[in-house]
Chains A and B, each alone.
Chain A
Amino acid sequence: MTEAVLATHAISKNFGALKASDNISIDLRPNEIHAIIGPNGAGKSTLIAQICGTLKPCAGNVELLGRDVTKESARDRVRAGLGRTFQISALAMEDTVLQNAMLGALGASGRPWRFFGPALRDNELRDAAECALLRVGLEDFMRVRTAELSHGQRRQLEVAVSLTLNPRVFVMDEPMAGLGSEGSKRLTGFLDALRHEAPILLVEHDMDAVFALADRISVLVYGRIIATGSGNDIRANPEVQEAYLGDEA
């Protein structure tokens, strides 16, 4: 078995009596897409937050590229190579699309303490940003204010910003949420190729996309992983059918 790039070892998180994460161990291997699915309130976002460092687990640890990062801040994890996209777009709405993408490039450069030259004339930042926007298909919207983008375009921009970071691992929280079938199909194709650049831990509600993309799927219910396996394994698993797919499929 190849070494995991990202792993959680028996992490638990309680909010009072609620076990939001109960002894979760998952891993992400090179070149793979590992999808995490589960009904609403299963604790997917809590899990993502612990992996990305915005929440600290009560027990267990998080390993990134072979290093224990449990005690490291979200920022340190980003610098170590973790690229995250948000479920609800967290973008600078008053800024243009290009400025948002350049922020990613600026973060990746690690040199924000430059007070004089105009950022838009910094070719290095600009190239990285334009290249990422081109890849997600937003090249015609660079000068548009982010607030004027459609919901789906904001999702694309989220992905573009994380691309500018050149991460070694992607963690994507529902990148398809709110996309039309066209946009969803397009993003599916894009992520399919992206896995060879860096593996993707994908939290997603869109079952078509999950089964089309994921090498492995883990099912999270009430804070516990009840099954991990290939798409076919998961479909055939009676416990999963009862807990989750039964309602929707």
Chain B
Amino acid sequence: MIKERHLNMALIVVCVVIPVWAHLADEPFIITLMTRAAIFALAAVGLNIALGLGGLVSLGHAAFFGLGGYAMGISAFHAQTFTPVAEWPFLIEGTKSMPAIWLISVAVSAFAATIVGILSLRTSGVYFIMITLAFGQMFFYFSISWPTYGGEDGLSVYVRNGFPGLNTLDPIQFFMICFAILVAALALASRLARSPFGLALNAARQAPQRVETVGLDPNRLKLVAFVISGAMTGLAGALFADLNRFVSPAMFSWQLSGEIMVFVIIGGVGRLFGPVAGALVFVTLEHLLGGFSEFWHVHLGVLLLLVVLFGRGGLIGMICGREGSHD
């Protein structure tokens, strides 16, 4: 069996080597694919905090992904049309600066995750899945029916947002930005899992009654996990919108929520690099099989079935065996 640490290192190497090779070989499309994988992985690392650590099966994470995307789209829309976002109670201008947009997306999706989390955590099990799905659909229909920001047609952003000192239109540079954020998110998720908060959250997933009898509130722990999770997925949404230079209600769709969950499940629920493995496999299949048939999801379905039936710990679990203790 390969040690999980070594497999993680290998995944990181793959994520760096392929784009660098593609850059040298002048294959910008491959770089774009890898950027797409890195952004999906980031969204799934976010979901994995709620799902893997907190045991919260959220089928509404596209809501945060879409909110991040629209936070970017709306900021950039106002900046490129030279109109303010709001004039009251104080003037808010649009922006084309990535760091500012990231902050906005994180803040907006964290706020939304707080509201959705407070209401959804009153339920559990199947009801939690349904209520998060319902929230996702609410955002979806709201975005469709808001003509100011394109409604069903979405919003186009003509020039990719800027990052000080970098040319974001250069595929490899934009990839590096996304990759750096992914690595930071993985570092955060890893520290979180080992922290005192992670210890308590882990127990809240497995034995909420126990957490209660040591004087802690399991639901509050889960809510904080849900907010961190939503914020991370929101940041991924902002990057995804920047990658495509386009946002549309499709970013809010429940299919996307399902896909983010599929990344986590294929890679391995609760495994640090599970989302990375899942997103890489997904994007690879999408690219390779998507060329043969538009029904390529059938193959993804078969893979998902196999992983769920035979590898309880996802692909990472199949390769590395059961998770070792955190030391």
What is A's interface to B at a CB cutoff of 8 Å? 52, 54, 74-75, 78-79, 84, 86, 90-96, 99-100, 102-104, 106-108, 110-120, 122, 125, 143, 145, 161-162, 164-165
Question: B216 is contacted by which of A91, A93, A106 (Cβ under 8 Å)?
Answer: A106
Which B residues are in CB contact (< 8 Å) with A79? 215
* B224 surroundings in chain A (CB, below 8 A): 113
Overall SS of chain B's interface: helix
Q: Which of A90, A99, A145 lies in contact with B213, CB distance below 8 A?
A: A90
- A146 CB to nearest chain B CB (Å): 9
Output the least CB separation between B224 and chain A (Å): 8
- Give A98's nearest chain B residue, CB to CB: B325
CB-CB contacts below 8 Å: B95-138 with A: none
A114 touching B195, Cβ below 8 Å: yes
CA distance A118 to B191 in the complex (A): 7
With beta carbons under 8 angstroms apart, the residue of B198, B203, B212, B216 that contacts A100 is B203
Which of B194, B200, B213, B326 has a CB less than 8 Å from the CB of A74?
B213
Given contacts A91-B210, A92-B203, A100-B203, contact A116 B195 (CB under 8 A): yes
Residue interface bits B193-208, CB-to-A below 8 A is 1, else 0: 0111111101100110
User: Given the interface contacts A91-B207, A99-B199, does A115 sit within 8 Å of B192 by beta carbon?
Assistant: yes
State whether A114 touches B203 (Cβ < 8 A): no
- CB contacts (< 8 Å) of A165 on chain B: these are 214-215
Instruction: Say yes or no: is B209 at the interface (Cβ < 8 Å to chain A).
Output: yes
Query: Nearest-CB distance from B122 to chain A (Å)?
Result: 16
Structural contact, A112 and B326, CB atoms closer than 8 A? no
Complex CA gap A75/B215 in Å reads: 4
Q: How distant is A93 from chain B, measured CB to nearest CB, in Å? A: 6
State whether the Cβ of B79 lies closer than 8 Å to any Cβ in chain A. no
Kindly identify which residue among B195, B206, B212, B221 contacts A119, using a CB–CB cutoff of 8 Å: B195
> A90-B209, A91-B207, A95-B203 are contacts. A104–B214 as well, Cβ < 8 Å?
yes
Residue of A86, A93, A119 near B194 (CB, 8 A) is: A119
Residue ID in chain B nearest A102 by CB atoms:
B199
Contact call A103/B211, Cβ cutoff below 8 A: yes
Residues of A within 8 A of B294 (CB): none
- Chain B positions near chain A (C-beta within 8 angstroms): 191-192, 194-200, 202-203, 206-207, 209-217, 221, 224, 325-327
Q: Is the CB of B196 within 8 A of A119?
A: yes
Give the docked Cα–Cα distance between A92 and B218 (Å): 13
CB within 8 Å for A110 and B215 given contacts A91-B207, A95-B206, A143-B325: yes
Residues of B within 8 A of A161 (CB): 210, 214
In the complex, chain B residues whose CB is within 8 Å of the CB of A104: 214
A165 to B203 Cα, complex, angstroms: 16
Complex contact A78–B195 (CB within 8 A): no
Cβ 8 A contact of B210, one of A90, A94, A96: A90
Contact A120 B206 (CB under 8 A): no
Inter-chain contacts of A117 with B (CB < 8 A)? 195-196
Of listed B198, B206, B327, residue having the most chain A CB within 10 A: B206
CB neighbours (8 Å) of A84 from chain B are 213
Q: Which A residues lie within 8 Å of B200 (CB)?
A: 103, 106-107, 112
B203 contacts which of A103, A118, A122, A143 (Cβ < 8 Å)? Answer: A103
Pairwise interchain contact B212-A74, C-beta atoms closer than 8 A: yes
> Across the interface, do A78 and B213 meet the contact criterion of CB distance under 8 Å?
yes
List chain B residues, Cβ under 8 A from A52.
213
The reply to whether A120 and B191 contact each other, CB–CB distance below 8 Å, is no
B215 touches A115 (CB 8 A): no
B217 touches A75 (CB 8 A): yes
Contact B215 A120 (CB under 8 A): no
Report yes or no: A119 in contact with B213, Cβ–Cβ below 8 A: no
**Closest Cβ of chain B: how far from A165's Cβ, in Å?**
6
B residues near A114, Cβ cutoff 8 Å: 195-197
Contact: A115 with B199, CB < 8 Å? no
| Complex partner residue of A107 from B195, B198, B202, B214, CB under 8 angstroms | B214
Cα A118 to Cα B221 in complex, Å, equals 17
With A and B bound together, what is the CA distance between A143 and B214 in angstroms? 21
Contact for B197 among A95, A113, A120, CB less than 8 A: A113
Residues of B within 8 A of A112 (CB): 196-197, 200, 216, 221
Chain B: minimal CB distance from A130 (Å): 15
Q: Name 15 A/B residue pairs within 8 A (Cβ), A-sorted.
A: A78-B212, A84-B213, A92-B203, A92-B207, A92-B210, A95-B199, A99-B202, A110-B215, A112-B216, A112-B221, A115-B192, A115-B197, A120-B326, A161-B210, A165-B214
Question: With A75-B216, A106-B196, A112-B221 in contact, do A120 and B327 touch (Cβ < 8 Å)?
Answer: yes
